[in-house]
Structure 1
Amino acid sequence: MEDRAAGAAALKRLRKRRGLSLAAVAHALVQLAGDLHQPALPAVASVQRSVARWEAAKPVMPDERYQLLLAHLYARAPGGSLVLGAGSDFAEYLNALGLLGESERRTAELRSLMLRAVTDAGGGGGMLALLAPGVQVGLSAALDDPSRTDEDTIDGLASVVADVNAEIGSLPMVRLQLLLAPAVEASRRLLAGPVPEPLLPQLRKVAVAAATLAGRLAFETRDDAASRALYAEATGEAGRLAEPWRQASVHMSHALVTLYSAQGMDGARRLVDQAVRAARTGESSLMRARAHALQAELAARAGNERQAQTALGLAWYDVEADHSGDPAPASFSAGHLKGFEGLCELYIGDAAEAHDRFAQAAEALRAPRDQVQRAIVTTDQALARIRLGEPRAATDLLHGCVAAASTTGGRVPALRLRQARRALMPWRRENWVADLDDHLMDVLGA
């Protein structure tokens, strides 16, 4: 109850900070509903009573329609620009909803909707929307004169990269590119200038993260040349840091996209071997686990059962270790590893075992950020069903994967879907395969 009261107080504080009365908020929400082509709201007096209930001693949660309208109200600065970063009214608004009892999933959805609005607006302002208001001024000054760069500016750039990364699975890849591109360019410009020496390592870490993510997004949007250049940039900057686990992370991301490019298995294997070598001397046991898991997948694809099982054993050893103090705590998990185990079973083991491992992995990958990986794992689960002689059940799984691939625009889920569809060729005249083809054509154009 104390949290709900704090949430109501936060909403009231937001309203008053903007100099708005209850009636003024009601008028603004009615206007926004019209501007956004939402269903018309009740009379202003009725909306005003709702606003008062949200701020009452025993507050009522705004419903989803009002939550969206309030998001647009508090995301927009007085000058009209969208401001979503830490310290903004919008960030405080989402915190207030959380205190009132709204779920993290819903507040994340509201944030994604506003990021979509930023990319709809165009003009390259997406990155500025993700910066805290005070950091925007500092970044402008640093870009004019890199010697004026300070910690807050670098932290602001890091937050942009982290925010974009967190939206994978919630927003289409092309929109994420629009949000990220200014951060990549800003980090380049600062590194090229006379940034204060003590700040260089932290700036370089941001540049590595930005270029790595940009490399993945370029691949996902089918720009392989740009992807290779960005990964080369990330690799170069990571090599200047005394943190081998970051180098391993870049190599692994690059390996995963290389696997599905013209360079294929050989190029991916070279990058994974580099990742394993770097991870072994690094500080992150989870990054080592991820490197060995990827090594196991490539070995299984090549039919090397003993090598695959050895790599999986090393991966489980690191996944089950103590991860307190790990510098990359969110980089890998047992759920991810089960997906790799399933892949190994699919290529060199038992299809039934593979199916069960994929099902376990898909169940564990429930966060919005995991949506792309979950679509990949579920497509692999469908492949296992086909090999088990259950093609119709496989198509039921694949319909869900089509929807996920459409939402994210991810290239790898689409490639995996085409692989699964090829496996269904013996049943191509069945109505349920035709239905899947129609779904693929409607959503993916393939």
Structure 2
Amino acid sequence: MSAHDRQVGAATLKRLRLARGWSLAETARAVIDAAARLGQPLDSTVASVQRSVARWESGKAPILPGERYQLLLAHLYARDVAGQPALGTGSDFAELLNALRQLGESERRLGELRTLVVRTTTDAGGGLLALLGPSTRTALSAALADPTRLDAELLAAMHGVIGDVNGQVGSVPFVRLQLLLSPVVESCRRLLGAEVPGAFAADLHALAAQAYTLAGRFAFETRDDEASKALYAAATDAASGTGAPWRRAMVHMSHALVTLYSTPGLEPARALVDAAVRDARAGESVTIRSRAHALQAEITARGGVEFSRQAQAALALAWYDMDSDRDGDPATSSFSPAHLRGFEGVTSLYIGDPGEAHDYFARSAASLVAPRERVQRAIVSTDQALARIRLDDPRSAADLLHGCVDAATSTGGRVAVIRLRRARRDLRQWRQEDFVADLDDHMIDALGA
């Protein structure tokens, strides 16, 4: 988009705001209220959101609102001043989409945004339940009105929704996935506080643990760390009510990974991993034990070479579990030898041979080909580039990082972006080289940093 296009887009956003009679602060409050209604409260003050609104409307250097803010603005402008849905040509909603287009948003993402907002605004019953299929929506509405009507069929349908959302990781932006999961998260919250049939209580707790864990990960990916912590706490409580320790181990592992990237130091993540290993050892899932030991190996190795013996021991236990008989394993985790090789690579990167680490990463990346594995592949490939830097091959590392930038941009993965920036810092001594300048330009264009 040209500078003129961006200025036109910014002016359109300002005109839409003024037509509603909103000041910058009033717009900020409206955005925060919309987030609360959608079950995705913002961890931001009115003043902070107000500054964002001003940057979107800047006449000199306007910026495109982020994915989450686009969604919130769309819900605000999808209704007219009387509160009625208004989505057609000439509506504020149509004008908003055009403004976002002029500010640089892609047609694909605008189409996704329009589909979500149209469905939640116009479908019968409205609200977040409109994102569910008709039969699931009807059954869930009935159970929310009368929790004694909760049954195995409805629980299976809700599990299906979680599986569908989880399967779109890597293909759909996290802020969209967060919205798609919201009906199940909110329904679990309400049902857990009600009197449901005793025969389904444990299954409901298992469903809630899974939904809250995934929602906690999505909140982390959209940089809402406070909401993420609260969701993981709720997931841990729900998992404790299942009577299956391996389910709580899964929550701890997911929480440990986001903690590693959102909290300074290794100790908070290490404590969660140790708890995961204890629960995994007490549980019935060999797959979860393998995954817990693998994560323990990575966190331990990040502490330095003085912990190499403990890290290698944890890795050996992970492979022992991976090679064990897993028939009848109660967990449906996709943890595989390809994933475990990625953990081997990270362990070697920190306490072993970077050449060996590079080979582990290469084999792991080559095996991670499913759409659901695109985020993990981007992470592994970035680590592979880091190994190349340590092998004194910075040009080849930069070449690999270009692909990682594209992958991180398309998936929206926060961890991939964090690791990309760390890899770029390791290229500082070559900052005068053209290949580093080209990488910097790519990162600025794609990621804004």
Query: TM-score, length-normalised on structure 1?
Result: 0.72
How far apart are 1:328 and its partner, in Å? 1.7
Return closer, same or farther for 1:158/1:118 CA change in 2, 3 Å cut-off.
farther
Superposition deviation, residue 113 in structure 1? 11
Residue of 428, 433, 446 corresponding to 2:431: 428
Question: AA paired with 1:351?
Answer: P
- Structure 2 matches for 1:21-170, cutoff 5 A? 118-121=115-118, 123=120, 128=129, 131-170=132-171
Contact 1:130 1:160 in 2 (8 A): no
Matched, 1:376 2:379: yes
- Alignment-derived partner of residue 389 in structure 1: 392
Shift of 1:241: 1.4
Output the CA distance in 2 between the equivalents of 1:352 and 1:122. 51
Alignment of 1:23-422 (within 5 A): 118-121=115-118, 123=120, 128=129, 131-303=132-304, 304-422=307-425
1:327 Cα deviation (Å)? 1.4
Q: Offset at 1:114?
A: 9.1
Rounded to whole Å, the distance in 2 between the matches of 1:275 and 1:388 is 34
Distance of 2:434 and 2:119 partners within structure 1: 43
After TM superposition, give the deviation of residue 324 of structure 1 in Å: 0.8
Distance change in 2, residues 1:286/1:333 (3 Å): same
2:205–2:238: 8 Å Cα contact kept in structure 1?
yes
* Alignment check: 8 A CA contact 2:341 2:361 kept: yes
Q: CA deviation at 1:350?
A: 0.6
The question of whether the paired residues in 1 share the 8 Å contact of 2:120 and 2:128 is answered with no
How far, CA to CA, are the matches of 1:411 and 1:314 in structure 2? Answer: 29
Partner secondary structure for residue 153 of structure 1: helix
Specify the alignment match of 2:48 in structure 1: none
Residues 118/202 of structure 1: CA separation in 2 closer, same or farther (3 Å cut): farther
Matched residue of 1:264: which SS?
Answer: coil
Q: Is the 8 A contact 2:281 2:289 kept in 1?
A: yes
- Contact residue 202 and residue 243 of structure 2 kept, 8 A: no
Q: Is the 8 A contact 1:283 1:326 kept in 2?
A: yes
Alpha-carbon contact 1:143-1:189 (below 8 Å) kept: yes
Tell me by how many angstroms 1:329 deviates. Answer: 3.8
SS at match of 2:262: coil
Q: 1:115 to 1:282 in 2, by over 3 A?
A: farther
Q: Is the 8 A contact 2:259 2:269 kept in 1?
A: yes
Is the Cα contact below 8 Å between 2:119 and 2:130 reproduced in 1? no
SS in 2 for 1:330: coil
Q: Unpaired segments of 5 or more residues in structure 2?
A: 1-108
Aligned residues: 335
Alpha-carbon RMSD? 1.9
- After superposition, the Cα gap between the structure-2 partners of 1:347 and 1:322, relative to the gap in structure 1 and judged at 3 Å, is same
Does the 8 A contact of 2:119 with 2:131 survive in 1?
no
- Measured in 2, the distance between the counterparts of 1:126 and 1:264 equals 41
Instruction: Give the % identical residues.
Output: 60
Secondary structure (helix, strand or coil) at the match of 2:226 reads helix
Q: 1:367 to 1:148 in 2, by over 3 A?
A: same
Give the AA of the match of 2:168.
Answer: E
Q: Note the alpha carbon deviations across 1:118-144, whole angstroms, 9 max, x for none.
A: 435363769656644322211111111
CA contact under 8 A between 2:185 and 2:212: conserved in structure 1? Answer: yes
Q: Is the Cα contact below 8 Å between 2:362 and 2:381 reproduced in 1?
A: yes
Q: What one-letter code is carried by the residue in structure 1 that aligns with 2:360?
A: R
Distance 1:162 1:117, change over 3 A: farther
